[in-house]
Amino acid sequence: MKSASTLLLFLLCALPFMATAAQPPIPAPPSKLPAKGYVLLDFNTGKTLAELNADERLEPASLTKIMTAYVVFRELEAGNIRLTDRVLVSEKAWRTGGSKMFIEVGKQVDLEDLLKGMIIQSGNDASVALAEHVAGSVESFAKLMNAHAERLGMTNSHFTNANGLPDPGLYTTARDIARVAMALIREFPNYYAWYRTPEFTYNDITQRNRNPLLRSDASADGVKTGYTKAAGYCLVGSAKRGEMRLVSVVMGSASPSARAEASLALLNYGFRFYESHRLYPAGQPVETLRVWYGDQEALPVGPQADVFATIPRGTYGQLSARLERTSDLHAPIAMGARLGDIVISKGDEELTRVTLVALQEVAEGGLWRRVKDGLLQLF
């Protein structure tokens, strides 16, 4: 956005940048990891910390179920379905091959159990049952998946089923899968808690969560494994240490151990050499701006969303902030109206910008105020 005016923010109390000693450059990301494609992202900012073939179309296998869960969670939030719904198991769901929750044809299963069976046990049968309950058929459900994928900006993805079994029209990328995984974590934190559940028992059969990161990294809390012969071994991982959360996607590894080692290498690299800071909370005043022709002259403004920055460790003191206004402010101004951007930079590099909004309403002033301000602006 090109602004009509730019104000420097000297907000040491709000953004306490401290001088730091010069830091050596961080090493390059891990190379030659055993995967066809991978990506490592900071959850708070979406910044890419490492990647290889991140936009190459690959078969997702059971990583597809992340999108399946996202669609079901959206339907739950919309009130179209409930966790207590009793779902009738069709013959198609029961006959689905691959990993199973072991539901039985003709029986009714709580929707919550189906979700846990899909998330924790990676049940292909549960995925089909959920798709049929939500949309009437797997084909109709796939249309919902593709609609949400388009809305999330997953431009290199196409879904044809709910479980990830091989299909010529089923494909995604490491970056796209990371995008829906982050949307799921951000929008549905309560449901996301199921992804770290160590095991689930249904029909007197107990199965462990297939995610190896849950047993090797105490900070890991998700997300999903996948495997077919064509796709290879895949793993979406997420871990949180302090305020920093990272999301890794590894696709096309040759073995379960290879995908786990690659995922851990990416996560450890990100946490070791980068840091994520929340600089301004959403709605916190960061400046007071002059308003013309209003019933008040001063208007507190702040960011519409939390302002985060992802930076190499030890470079916090190199951050700077500025406020870019769209124009002079003339009343009336509605609360929440966009007034510009807060821009965070490190040296000459712009890191992020977040919309600046009015934190109060300013009504139009009386005749005397309008005349006075008109004269002040004139001279």
pLDDT, tens digit, 9 for 90 and up, residues 295-332: 898 999 999 999 999 999 999 999 999 999 888 888 89
Does residue 266 belong to any structural domain of this protein?
no
CATH of the domain at 53: 3.40.710.10
d(CA 205, CA 189): 27
Does residue 222 belong to any structural domain of this protein?
yes
Q: State how far the alpha carbon of 83 is from the alpha carbons of 115, 133, 145, 252, in Å.
A: 9, 12, 20, 34
Show which of 206, 235, 253 is a domain's final residue.
253
Residue 199 shares a structural domain with residue 332: no
Residue 373: pLDDT band with limits 50, 70, 90 = low
Catalytic member of 122, 127, 157, 253: 122
What whole-number percentage of the chain has pLDDT above 90?
Answer: 81
Does residue 104 belong to any structural domain of this protein?
yes
Average pLDDT over residues 276-286: 93
d(CA 149, CA 158): 8
For residue 295, which amino acid is it? D
Average pLDDT over residues 331-343: 92
**Listed range (210-219, 286-295, 301-310, 345-354) with the worst mean pLDDT:** 286-295
CA angle 118, 112, 225 (to 5 degrees): 20
Structure confidence at residue 336 (pLDDT): 94
Does residue 289 belong to any structural domain of this protein?
yes
Residue 169 shares a structural domain with residue 81: yes
In the predicted structure, residue 245 carries a pLDDT above the cut 60? yes
What whole-number percentage of the chain has pLDDT above 70?
Answer: 91
Average pLDDT over residues 338-358: 93
Residue 151 shares a structural domain with residue 216: yes
Structure confidence at residue 364 (pLDDT): 81
Average pLDDT over residues 291-298: 85
Residue 293 shares a structural domain with residue 220: no
Q: Is 62 a catalytic residue?
A: yes
Q: Which residues contact 321 (CB under 8 A, 6 or more apart)?
A: 9, 11, 15, 279, 342, 343, 344, 345
For residue 181, which amino acid is it? A
Residue 351 shares a structural domain with residue 219: no
Count: domains in the chain = 2
Residue 374: pLDDT band with limits 50, 70, 90 = low
Q: Is 65 a catalytic residue?
A: yes
Residue 76 shares a structural domain with residue 177: yes
d(CA 171, CA 166): 9
In the predicted structure, residue 19 carries a pLDDT above the cut 70? no
Average pLDDT over residues 223-242: 97
| Domain limits for position 295 | 5-20+279-378
Contact 319, 336 (CB under 8 A): no
Q: State how far the alpha carbon of 375 is from the alpha carbons of 292, 293, 370, in Å.
A: 11, 11, 9
Does residue 196 belong to any structural domain of this protein?
yes
Structure confidence at residue 33 (pLDDT): 94
Residue 16: pLDDT band with limits 50, 70, 90 = very low
Give the residue with greater pLDDT, 16 vs 276. 276
Please give the sequence-ordered ranges of beta strands (E in DSSP) within 212-333, or none if there are none. 220-228, 232-241, 244-253, 274-280, 287-292, 298-303, 307-312, 319-325, 329-330
Average pLDDT over residues 20-24: 59
Show which of 237, 253, 269 is a domain's final residue.
253
Give the residue with greater pLDDT, 83 vs 3. 83
Q: Is 122 a catalytic residue?
A: yes
Residue 229 shares a structural domain with residue 373: no
CATH of the domain at 302: 2.60.410.10
Q: pTM to 2 decimals?
A: 0.89
Residue 365: pLDDT band with limits 50, 70, 90 = low
Contact 146, 159 (CB under 8 A): yes
Residue 107: pLDDT band with limits 50, 70, 90 = very high
Residue 228 shares a structural domain with residue 330: no
Structure confidence at residue 369 (pLDDT): 66
Residue 74 shares a structural domain with residue 13: no
In the predicted structure, residue 255 carries a pLDDT above the cut 60? yes
Structure confidence at residue 23 (pLDDT): 65
Residue 209 shares a structural domain with residue 298: no
Does residue 323 belong to any structural domain of this protein?
yes
Contact 247, 236 (CB under 8 A): yes
Beta partners for residue 302, in sequence order: 357
Average pLDDT over residues 221-249: 97
Structure confidence at residue 14 (pLDDT): 42
| The two three-digit tokens of residue 22, written as one number | 């010069």
In the predicted structure, residue 294 carries a pLDDT above the cut 60? yes
Write down the mean pLDDT value for the chain.
91
